[in-house]
Amino acid sequence: MRGKSRIGLPIFLGLLFLLVSCQRQADPQPAAPAYFKPDPATAGTITGRVLFNGRPAPSRRVEMDNDPQCVKLHDQPVMDEEIALTRIGNERRLANAFVYIKAGLEGKVFEPPATPVVIEQRGCWFGPRVQGIVLGQTLQVVNADPLTHNIHPLARINREWNQSQSPGDPPLTRRFTQTEVMIRVKCNIHNWMHAWIGAVPHPYFGVTDQEGMFSLVGVPPGEYVVETWHERLGRQEQPVRVSSGGRTELILNFNGE
């Protein structure tokens, strides 16, 4: 009886190994995401400009006096322009407004860009002030200053995180997985540092430049809702129709005090 048991054990183990191997082969592999890619022949463009009506608030000086190292990094005072305006003709154009498609792309999944979005700490200031990122795209945080900084995105839908970065440290990398417009970013060491990041599930977003201009390219034909956000002036929505290969131009207005 003992001899039969010794012979049966290797056979049993062999059968068990084959069973597990077959089970592994039978397990379905997760399907690759079916990313949506717009047809270049029919994709359109949404362009426009954002205007400001009202009395502009005066710029205020950024008080860096509690950190002499930060003061030494500048030849002149740093001004914080919450409402950055440029006059062109009779228009006051508004910079740093975040414009994105809020509705109309439901059911479409977009591949995150391979190129990271960079936020830099330079001169004890975050740059750029406002930017967007696609869900799953890498956010790269760089400290270009000769002193320690801290980056603290105050996310409410995504995971909030908080990390210091010393001079010469490698870039920090993070990703956002949920739509959130906007995420305020601050530095716990230098409380005057702030920036904003809009995390969206598609590449159709932009930030107005110094002339208040923006452009969303490669938009598939359809009906959309475009939202414009500004840190001081709030939000507004506008319906938009993009025709096949067409160019839609918007003029968006914010009213000040």
Set out the domains of the chain in order of their start, with CATH numbers: 44-255 (2.60.40.420)
The residue behind tokens 């005066």 is: 58
Q: Rounded CA gap, 83 and 61, in Å?
A: 14
Q: Rounded CA gap, 113 and 115, in Å?
A: 5
Percent of the chain with pLDDT over 70: 87
> Taking all residues of the chain, what is their mean pLDDT, rounded to a whole number?
91
The conformational region for residue 54 under phi > 0 = left, psi -120 to 50 = alpha, else beta, is left
Q: What is the pLDDT of residues 97-107, one digit of tens each?
A: 999 999 999 99
Cis, bond preceding 170 (omega within 30 deg of 0): no
The residue behind tokens 């975040």 is: 98
Q: Rounded CA gap, 205 and 217, in Å?
A: 9
Beta strands in 72-219 (DSSP E): 79-80, 85-88, 91-94, 98-103, 117-121, 126-127, 130-134, 138-143, 149-153, 163-165, 172-175, 180-186, 194-200, 205-207, 213-219
Q: Is the pLDDT of residue 15 over 70?
A: no
Q: Is the pLDDT of residue 170 over 90?
A: yes
Q: Rounded CA gap, 126 and 142, in Å?
A: 10
Residue 24: predicted pLDDT: 55
